[in-house]
A and B are shown apart, each in its own frame.
Chain A
Amino acid sequence: AQSVTQLGSHVSVSEGALFLLRCNYSSSVPPYLFWYVQYPNQGLQLLLKYTSAATLVKGINGFEAEFKKSETSFHLTKPSAHMSDAAEYFCAVSDRAGSARQLTFGSGTQLTVLP
């Protein structure tokens, strides 16, 4: 069984500031971890993924996430927020031994970027 917890359903950040979105997972086996972004009225876009290589993962548009096994976390960060980053962000976990069907999503974090 696996699950994902995203702390903070809403996060606000000032334009140009660093922000961090939290994700903690629970998995009985080594996981794959993903961050997706959903812009208004659109589908989900993959930002980055952890699949057991480097623990610090770099994604598109300056996003990064660090896999910390001891903390069972995979928090998403970006050093400088842009207005275009305003969106909903979903963390997801997959059982490495299973198929893509085993993808489990967190409840999402809505990011607001303040001018």
Chain B
Amino acid sequence: SAVISQKPSRDICQRGTSLTIQCQVDSQVTMMFWYRQQPGQSLTLIATANQGSEATYESGFVIDKFPISRPNLTFSTLTVSNMSPEDSSIYLCSVSVTGSNEQFFGPGTRLTVL
């Protein structure tokens, strides 16, 4: 397993601003993912964070809105840019290790956009 921390745990932001969320893992992992969980909804994969290269985005998500960095095997950031109230969600980081289909999740970042 892996222990994952996220910062901040929650934030309230103004429309038009940006927020960067950090994800830190206690061990080197193969894959890191970012999910969005809108109020009352299930999880939707935003992108796979790739070390040293551009993230792989899912349909409906673009780099300009959700830029992602992964400078090493234990850390990644997700930025929610030019926020609107529709971006109010929980954003979750997850990781997976080599050869495993199992994902371990961080505690999430609860974002409210006013």
Contacts and interface: CB of A to CB of B under 8 A. Distances in A.
Nearest to B30: A100
B113 interface: no
A100 B94 CA distance: 10
B113 to A, nearest CB: 18
A105 interface: yes
A101 B48 contact: yes
Contacts of B4: 43
Contacts of B92: 43-44
Interface in B81-108: 92, 94, 96, 100-108
Contact of A105 (B31, B43, B101, B108): B43
B111 to A, nearest CB: 13
- Interface bracket on A: 20 to 34
A92 B46 CA distance: 16
- Between B48, B96, B102, B108, the greatest number of chain A beta carbons within 10 A of the residue's beta carbon is seen for B102
Contacts of B103: 100, 103
A95 B101 CA distance: 8
A46 B102 contact: yes
Contacts of B31: 99-101
Given A105-B42, A107-B41, A96 B108 contact: no
B53 to A, nearest CB: 15
B42 A103 contact: no
Interface of B: 4, 6, 31, 33, 41-43, 45, 48, 56, 92, 94, 96, 100-108, 110
